[in-house]
Amino acid sequence: MLQTMTQETRAGDLAYADARDRLEAEIERFSRQSGQTTLEVPRLNFEKGETRFEFLPEDLPEEKILESLRVIKNHIEHIRIHTLDPGYVVFQSLGPNLYDTKHFLSGIKFKFVSITNNFRVEASRSGNFNESELQTCIELFQLFNPGKKESDPTKKLEQLGVTVFPPVQTESNGSSENPWGPIAGYDSIKREVEECLLLPARHMSVFQGVAQLTRGDGAANLPGAILFEGPPGVGKTTIARLAAQAAGLPLIYVPVENILSKFYGQSAQNLAMIFDTAALFERGILFLDEIDALATSRESGLFEATRRVLSVLLRKIDGLDRTGGLLTVGATNRAEDLDHALLSRFDQILRFPLPNEQERASIFQSYAAHIAPEALGILGRESDGLSGRTIQDICESAERRWARALIEKKQALSAPEAEVYIRVLREKKAGML
């Protein structure tokens, strides 16, 4: 049988035309985002069964080649150095399976060539590129065309889809006043958060001193990462925000799900950049909201892109300096669906249950302070299964209804009667059945 020279097609290979369209679209978007309007789109050719990607950087210093290796490594698991000569460096992918010797030498090659003052970066393989290979090429191109640098970490984070809430200096900073605002109940959770986060922020020396006396080391008694777990609307996000505020720390709010969809294909790189940029803050809380977007435990077969994001996340959580000032807080509705490796990175898991009867009454009270205890008792009893968010909604809805009645009946201003809350609650419950 005749041996053909062309590579067998692999699952996940991109048709050449699709790859080129993707490349063009990505570079176009990148030029816009990085403010480089004159970027020349790198070449992508398919000739004689071989795909070739190429661009000519202005310069090719050694650090850039090393950084390139890091970029390649983010997407391609096994890499060997094919050639390491002055002016000619080649890295080659060994394919996902190291024991697959048949395709051992046919993996994509990344070449870095400098001849006098001419520089070239090239990637080629016989057959088509797959998603990761194309993505690597795009990121290499971006690496060599960084555009204008954003030096303000807050601005840079914003470009990455992250919101930074700066610490607000309030009266309660530094004092022992109740920092939890409207959040009623959840005393044990509040106490944990105070011990892991609030008090260390204010009295680090005491925590360090205790560790020194007991074990002779520094602040190793502080968690580096905490997971908030619980159903929707029980106050996870709010508690994180209030805690940051009371501790006088910026809250770096990362909506994981948004990042995944907004930066599809580039999420892993962006997430890595988010961590690196956040690390520029001396101290702060890095809040990863809705990490269930990364859930789907391993068995269910992760999307390749999701797996890349996950591996960045694992590495970055591990890499954060614990004595340093960045605490990672993750929030999820379903811890049991999270990848085990991810779950194990969290030193502590705080479970937020739905509020119990007494807590529900207190939540009603915190949004309707004027209601008498008996009515609060009824509201607490009858709101079984509702979250703080739903209770808040009920209270606001009762207020609107009351305001409307005042307007319609042209009555003087007064607070809503307890009956209105009870009625709205019952309607809500009936509607939920």
Ligand X SMILES: Nc1ncnc2c1ncn2[C@@H]1O[C@H](COP(=O)(O)OP(=O)(O)OP(=O)(O)O)[C@@H](O)[C@H]1O
Binding site for ligand X (CB under 6 A): 182-186, 230, 232-238, 333, 355, 363, 366, 388-389, 392
Q: What strand order describes the sheet that includes 118-126?
A: 43-47, 50-55, 118-126, 109-115, 88-93, 79-85
Cα dist from 126 to 135, 194, 406, whole Å? 17, 58, 76
From Mg ion, ligand X, none, which one binds at residue 92 (CB under 5 to 8 Å depending on kind)?
Answer: none
CA–CA separation, 401 and 272 (whole Å): 48
Q: Choose between 145 and 237: whose C-beta lies nearer to Mg ion.
A: 237
Residue nearest ligand X by beta-carbon distance: 388
From ligand X, Mg ion, none, which one binds at residue 389 (CB under 5 to 8 Å depending on kind)?
Answer: ligand X
Examine residue 237 and tell whether it contacts Mg ion (CB under 5 A): yes
In Å, how far from its chain's centre is CA 63?
A: 28
Q: Choose between 123 and 234: whose C-beta lies nearer to Mg ion.
A: 234
Residue nearest Mg ion by beta-carbon distance: 237
Cα dist from 394 to 188, 238, 399, whole Å? 26, 18, 9
Ranges of H-type helices in 174-302: 187-193, 199-202, 204-215, 236-247, 256-262, 267-278
From Mg ion, ligand X, none, which one binds at residue 284 (CB under 5 to 8 Å depending on kind)?
Answer: none
Q: Choose between 234 and 335: whose C-beta lies nearer to ligand X.
A: 234
Q: What's the min distance (Å) between Cβ of 232 and Mg ion? A: 7
Exposure on the CB side of residue 208, measured as CA atoms within 13 A: 9
Q: Choose between 224 and 235: whose C-beta lies nearer to ligand X.
A: 235
Hey, is 82 helix, strand or coil? strand
Q: Choose between 133 and 292: whose C-beta lies nearer to Mg ion.
A: 292
Sequence-ordered strand ranges (E) for 86-193: 88-93, 109-115, 118-126, 163-165
Site size toward Mg ion, by CB under 5 A: 2
CA–CA separation, 275 and 213 (whole Å): 33
Q: What's the min distance (Å) between Cβ of 318 and Mg ion? A: 25
Examine residue 328 and tell whether it contacts Mg ion (CB under 5 A): no
From Mg ion, ligand X, none, which one binds at residue 333 (CB under 5 to 8 Å depending on kind)?
Answer: ligand X
How many Cβ atoms from other residues are within 10 Å of residue 354's Cβ?
Answer: 17
Q: Choose between 44 and 342: whose C-beta lies nearer to ligand X.
A: 342
Q: Choose between 22 and 236: whose C-beta lies nearer to Mg ion.
A: 236
Please count the residues of the chain: 433
From ligand X, Mg ion, none, which one binds at residue 392 (CB under 5 to 8 Å depending on kind)?
Answer: ligand X
207-236 residues in contact with Mg ion (CB under 5 A) are 236
**Phi, psi angles (nearest 5°) of residue 135:** -60, -40
Hey, is 335 helix, strand or coil? helix
Q: What's the min distance (Å) between Cβ of 145 and ligand X? A: 38
Pairing mode of beta strands 50-55, 43-47: antiparallel
Q: Choose between 137 and 184: whose C-beta lies nearer to ligand X.
A: 184
Q: What's the min distance (Å) between Cβ of 251 and ligand X? A: 13
Q: What's the min distance (Å) between Cβ of 233 and ligand X? A: 5
Interface stretch with Mg ion, choices 29-37, 116-124, 237-245, 365-373 (CB under 5 A): 237-245
Query: For binding to Mg ion (CB under 5 A), which residues are involved?
Result: 236-237
